[in-house]
Amino acid sequence: MIALFMDVTGRSAGPGAATHLRSQPRSARSSPRVAALCRLALCFAAIASQAGPAFQFPTANRSLLEPSGSARFFAPTAGRTWTAGQFGCVRSDGWQMHEGIDILFTQKDRRGEPTDEVRAAADGEIAYVSRKPGLSNYGIYAVLRHRIEGLEVYTVYAHLRQVRGEWSPGASVRAGDVLGVMGRTTNTKSPIGKDRAHLHFEITLLVNPSFSAWLKQREPDARDDHGMWNGRNLLGIDPAEVFREQQNRGARFSLLDHVRQQRELFRVYIADTSFPWLKRYPQLIRRNPTAERDGIVGYEVSFNFNGLPFRLVPRSRTELNGPQKTRLLSVDEAVYRDSPCRKLVFRRGQSWTLTAHGDELISLLVR
């Protein structure tokens, strides 16, 4: 029974979240009805009725879902095959993470520049637009905020040639609205070649609205051009997996279930009861009657290979073994073998420990 922890009202969970939602995405439209049903303890039925495909393809390239279509869908990195355009541990022999998918162009102009229109993947609103290509390896990019099955989720569209002038933060968008045109913008030394022009696309969750304050404290000299829309403050899931599962499950697809059912790489006890992720993503909190009765003093948090906290179980003082501080509880070695590239945990002798990257993630999470 997770129902009591669900924020099914469409209420804002963080600063500037749904308060600026001028569009009425699917989940928000029916929220009063859902809230009423939930009072009748029919939450699950109500939530299920909102499920179904959540995202559409952001460009005309849909070959992902065609037989042997992957090579026409994903853009390779220079000198590599299309597999390097997938999400996950696909670069540097499996030791470098790619946080999104690179969707190959389908059209070019006479100069060989991509002309594919880039479209909103779901209803929502503009969260952020960066129009200065030199400020990010994302080049010119846009971030959209969505609320799907109550879950606050973001999509990122990067390396654009341009974002249309009317799109500024707070503007509401409908799925399919043209955001701009595919490009090859980036601030990296090696440019993106015309033959592998692509849209870098992410489906992602937001870690902490206080990212800038955290960065200033931790790395006083670091540039902070994008505030909380820094890629380090976003934790992605695999968009290709989402598109495929939508196709396979149709109306039975649930983005919320998809996030809840991530594979666990490691579990950490966090001695904190009010960090931002809890407020933003209450749908990911599980019930624990013992802790609810005895008093919650912290959360047991399950992370996937990318460091996404996808299950949070409240814990009471009586359930804890040992001192109440943040500590690593377990690591799934099979998951680590498959996807080690975020380097969040490592094995020292017989025991596992959080790396500096792992510590950094937890520190940002609880700030």
Distance CA 141, CA 137 (A): 10
Shortest distance, position 262 Cβ to Zn ion, whole Å: 21
Q: Which of 108, 105, 125 is nearest to 16 (CA)?
A: 125
Q: Which of 164, 110, 151 is nearest to 25 (CA)?
A: 151
Nearer CB in complex with Zn ion: 90/344: 90
Shortest distance, position 199 Cβ to Zn ion, whole Å: 9
Shortest distance, position 198 Cβ to Zn ion, whole Å: 7
Q: Which of 232, 224, 284 is nearest to 260 (CA)?
A: 284
Distance CA 66, CA 63 (A): 5
Nearer CB in complex with Zn ion: 46/142: 142
Shortest distance, position 67 Cβ to Zn ion, whole Å: 24
Interface residues with Zn ion (CB under 5 A)?
Answer: 102, 200
Q: Which of 124, 281, 157, 307 is nearest to 229 (CA)?
A: 157
Nearer CB in complex with Zn ion: 7/116: 116
Nearer CB in complex with Zn ion: 102/123: 102
Nearer CB in complex with Zn ion: 50/86: 86
**Percentages (nearest 5) of helix, strand, coil residues in the chain:** 30, 30, 40
Shortest distance, position 305 Cβ to Zn ion, whole Å: 18
Of all residues in the shown chain, the one whose CB is closest to Zn ion is 200
Q: Which of 55, 1, 78 is nearest to 236 (CA)?
A: 55
Nearer CB in complex with Zn ion: 79/322: 79
Q: What secondary structure does DSSP assign to 328-361, as a single string?
A: EEEE-HHHHHH--TT--EEEETTEEEE-HHHHHH
Shortest distance, position 144 Cβ to Zn ion, whole Å: 17
